[in-house]
Structure 1
Amino acid sequence: MPNDMVKQTTIYKRRESEARSYCRAMPAAFTRASGSELFDADGNRYIDFLAGCSSLNYGHNDPDMKAALIEHIAGDGIAHGLDFHTDAKSAFLKAYEDHILAPRGMNHKIMMTGPTGTNAVEAAIKLARKVTGRRNVIAFTNGFHGMTMGALALTGNASKRDGAGNASLGDVTHMPYEGSLGDTVDTLEVIDTMLSNPSSGIDAPAAFIFEPIQGEGGLTAASDDWMRGIEKIARKNGALLIVDDIQSGCGRSGTYFSFEKSGIEPDMITQAKSLSGFGLPFAALLIKPEHDIWKPAEHNGTFRGNTHAFVTARVAIEKFWADDAFQKEIAIKSDVLGAALKDVAELVDGASIKGRGMMQGVDVGSGDLAATICARAYDQGLVIETSGAHDEVVKFLAPLTTPQEILREGLNILTQATYDATRQMKIAAE
């Protein structure tokens, strides 16, 4: 290891919290990035199939967003605006209204929350309880909604929940997500039966919250029928419907919102990660107007509405969502991805493909095998991670703008890494 890398690694170990995670498996010191490529301090190139965990759907350092941000900063544009009126905010709101909401027949208000996804989730569950006067929220197995206390209560992951120590994570009922009880069990029927029974012990819900594609939970994608079924059950029980589209949104599933094809009409939608378009912290909550009953400053945050993110988000929307060209491009790449992942899955006995659009992966049935595949891919210049209850899914989250030649190059590395890992395990077992 070069001497400067040793020094850098030493400072991380000496001063950075033990909570650090990604850098343990991928210890390179990255210094620059462009599009779908990362470069480390020694000049090594890596293809990025992680994209800031879907925070960089439009790639690293998009030139148009970068130019707009530099112009804004160089012109002494507002850097921090609380919730004052600013030119950057009005331009973002107008672009979002014109290119995202209006074409989809949506009339939602846009609430600027604190800058991360968990802030948007916290706002959503607070508002649902305020609107309905109820406390219980229905969340789902394998769901992930954030790390602050309310969002963590909704989250199913045991290791994430353990991080709260012995703190209470209450006022949530966890129900089975589609397919979580096996192919022969209709989870909609189970949920409806439980909520229809006045002696089930489940309090009347304020809201249902779910991810159309479970990002951290293993890439299980809900069917359109299941999403419509959850909406129907929510309406039947007088509960609001919240869709967490933080990781699966902004085009990741193939459409801007990952629930679009189902035809459901959520009362609230959480947005974050790639909302800024540039990797800048930015989160928002979309709210149907009739539910927007907040009093002024009743829910706020010092960094609500990142003004620099308004600048880049406006460019992202106008550049990629003013027409359907980008969506068609995603569909083509999704087919390329699906075909390549099929080849990967064929290398592992019992493996299956999970997810939808450009949010897919391969369930290899073992966390150890998935970790080995990702480690071998990293050694060959590919950054990719795992997900799932047992980290058994190799998870693809490359930028949606990845050129096809780089996409195929990265997928070839993944295929080779899978071959090498499975061969290694077979040799070890003999």
Structure 2
Amino acid sequence: MRIFEEMESEVRGYIRSFPTVFDRAEGSELFDESGARFIDFFAGAGTLNYGHNNPIVTDAMIQYLQHKGILHGLDKATVAKRAFLQKFRDTILAPRDLKYKVQFTGPTGTNAVETALKLARMVKKRSNIISFTNGYHGLTMGALAATGNYFYKDESYGSRINTAFMPYDGFLGEGVDTIDYMRRFLADGSSGVDLPAAVIVETVQGEGGINVAGIEWLKNLQAVCREFDILLIVDDIQVGNGRTGTFFSFERAGIHPDMVCLSKSIGGGLPMALLLIRPELDQWQPGEHTGTFRGNNLAFVAATQTLRYWDNDDLVKAVAYKGDIIEKTLNKMVEDYPQLEPKVRGIGMVWGLEMAPGLAGEASRQAFARGLVIETAGANDQVLKFLPSLLIGEDILHEGLGIVRDCLALLVENQQSIMTGQ
């Protein structure tokens, strides 16, 4: 590990949580250079919904490279881009009766968010944006302004201008309608909140602690946006691509966002981000918003292959089945280890186990020592975050959950030892 400490910036993060040198991976398993095996409940922070080195993706990429296919193309027309656009239209958009234009924005999710905010402001001729408590949208300047967690912000380099925050569903406790709260701010010209160009929201807050917005809350949010002529942007970067059980996380609510940000798993494990735009909002002049790597053709090849999983409803059923396993297993842990003050929340195959302060991080460390890669989430890293590949085998899923159970048992044992002075 010496070369990483010597050469790499102190900003490195995950290498500290998972301190080994990884060498290869397949499906839901990682192997370090010594051959040690790790089950992956992290999935590249949501980038590997279809697993590591998925064979249908790998084979297609090898064939494309051997063919000497175009790799860097800016926004020129290529065979790979055409195949992706056709597949995305025919398999994802058309069956859902969604009519969006596609803008390729750059290699990562924050590029899609920046593009959405810029376009919304340009179209509506307003500068304000509304985001939500515990929201996470990226760490470039515009996206950072809409990100709630102040671990990422500093007055010396961060900019909070032209962004207002409203309470997410449940933030003020059960029984408080935070959409009505927001409506009152928008309706009152002296509230101090300028009428925004757009509202940006995650229907499930991943980094924020696995907070799941209710269906009625999402419907009411869309209604308020329509009432006040505000664009609705859904950030589906982490919980899109089937993570919640449907391709788009907002499908369960039956809403139709004006824009949708996609990245992470849409590239099949390779860097790619895109913005879906209602056609009438696509008011760019040619070349008005560009990026050198907005056309990752190898990612187009990979993405076209992963979209094959949506040719039928097999994956939807599999996510529901395995999500049910996760939920029931976590609920049993809550029942068995009340000393940890655990709480379960989630949907599909994105779940969180909230615990008393400090315990989630310790559980993650103990899990890694036992061969499981799992991260934490939430404002204080108080949530153990379950984000396995959607294609994970049932036996490996149970094995990983068993490791978590062992870690919780150890935490309880340690607590008891401290209390008894042993």
Length-normalised TM-score, structure 2: 0.98
Instruction: Kindly indicate whether residue 118 of structure 2 is the aligned counterpart of residue 130 of structure 1.
Output: no
Deviates more, 1:194-203 or 1:115-124: 194-203
Q: CA separation in 2, counterparts of 1:244 and 1:210?
A: 6
Shift of 1:270: 0.2
Instruction: State which of 30, 33, 36 in structure 2 corresponds to 1:41.
Output: 33
- What is aligned with 1:77? 69
Residue 54 of structure 2 aligns with an amino acid whose one-letter code is D
2:318 corresponds in structure 1 to 329
The secondary structure found in structure 2 opposite 1:155 is coil
> 1:344: Cα distance to partner?
2.3
Distance 1:329 1:82 in 2: 37
Partner of 1:392: 382
Matching residue's letter, 1:114: G
Q: How many residues align?
A: 418
Tell me the residue number matched to 1:140: 132
Tell me, yes or no, if structure 1 residue 104 matches structure 2 residue 96. Answer: yes
**1:420 paired residue among 404, 410, 413:** 410
Q: What is the Cα deviation at residue 303 of structure 1?
A: 0.1
Contact 1:205–1:237 at 8 Å: present in 2 too? Answer: no
Where do residues 27-426 of structure 1 align in structure 2 (5 Å cutoff)? 27-162=19-154, 165-277=156-268, 279-318=269-308, 320-346=309-335, 347-349=337-339, 350-366=341-357, 368-426=358-416
SS of equivalent to 1:251: coil
- What is the CA deviation profile of residues 245-265 of structure 1, one whole-angstrom value per residue up to 9, with x for unaligned ones? 000100001110011010111
Moved over 6 A (4+): none
The 3-state SS of whatever aligns with 2:260 is strand
8 Å CA contact 2:199, 2:230 repeated in 1: yes
Matched letter for residue 414 of structure 1 = V
Question: Relative to 1, partners in 2 of residues 1:422 and 1:165: Cα closer, same or farther, differing over 3 Å?
Answer: farther
Once the two structures are TM-superposed, the CA of residue 288 in structure 1 deviates from its matched residue by: 0.4
Distance 2:64 2:208 in 1: 39
| Equivalent position of 1:4 in the other structure | none
Taking the aligned partners of 2:419 and 2:44, their CA distance within structure 1 comes to 35
Query: Contact 1:348–1:364 at 8 Å: present in 2 too?
Result: no
Q: Which residue number corresponds to residue 15 of structure 2? A: 23
Identity score, percent: 48
Q: Distance in 2 between matches of 1:71 and 1:314?
A: 14
1:421 partner amino acid: L
- 1:421 is displaced (CA, Å) by 1.6
C-alpha distance in 2 between matches for 1:307 and 1:112: 11
TM-score (norm 1): 0.96
Q: SS of the residue aligned with 2:315? A: helix
Deviates more, 1:140-149 or 1:347-356: 347-356
Distance in 2 (alpha carbons) for counterparts of 1:140 and 1:167 = 17
